[in-house]
Amino acid sequence: MLHGLAGGYDSAYARDLFTAFEAHELEGHLLHFRGCGDLMNRLPRGYHAGDTSDFAHYVSELHREAPERPIYAVGFSLGANVLLKYLGTENEQGHVAAAVAVSVPFLLDDACESISSGFSLLYHKVLLRRLKQSMVEKFGSLPADQIPFDYGALKRVGDLRSFDDLVTAPMHGFGTAEHYYAVSSCRQYLLGIDTPTLILHAADDPFQSPAGIPTPSELASPVELELSAHGGHVGFLQGTSGGLTWKSWLTPRITAYLRAQARGQGSAT
């Protein structure tokens, strides 16, 4: 499992999916991106939406430990972008047998614009605060010459694009945020995927405008895009309003797909 931006094991979607994995006798693992979870990353770098190297290493280790066992991957939001980019560029050995990507920021530049307006500003402020705090915790006690960005300007950052321009891009070898978005966005890599992959996305996802959603011609044949009219960002609720019995259909759909792949039955609904 690959979590979203500023997420981790304690994210609601992760806990729900781990519970379902246990019920279906699937062994669950979650890769915490650098700086997430309980351990601070010691290197002068973090993680970003296009960094597949840690996931590639993680998958290789899982395969080395148990080569006879199939590996299924599920990515959420930023983690979904990482997963799809990996599948389109680095899964030549087929270590990942099947995958599910949820609420994908197909075009990072578009996603950054979408989350910076309207109701999405609530998400934007929370994520930006978490990201800035993580940089304070990581670099706050270090000398200036050991910090790979202008630490003094961090307090003045007021939006995610500026954060990526100041922190993410220079810390990971990109010239600008625009360069980072262009290289890392997964949409351009979807035709290279030869792994059975289910993409679950909502047309009303506040993190991505409808223009960012790929067309059928941009999808490789093993890739299925299930586009819901409603679902928001990692929401996908069903139920009734009066009785307040709303629950997510996301976890049952993910487990149904993966179990179908395990049985060699393709995509089960």
Residues marked as catalytic: 77, 205, 233
List all residues 6 or more positions away from 48 whose beta carbon is below 8 Å from its beta carbon.
168, 172, 180, 184
Determine how β-strand 247-248 pairs with β-strand 237-238: antiparallel
CA 130-114-138 angle, 5° bins: 20
Q: In terms of Cα–Cα distance, which of 248, 236, 232 is closest to 114?
A: 232
Residues 75/100, Cβ–Cβ less than 8 Å:
yes
Alpha carbons 19 and 262: distance in angstroms, whole number: 19
User: In DSSP terms, which residues pair with 225 in a beta bridge?
Assistant: 199
* Sign of the dihedral through C-alpha 48, 214, 247, 15: negative
The label of the residue with tokens 């895009």 reads: 225
d(CA 205, CA 235): 9
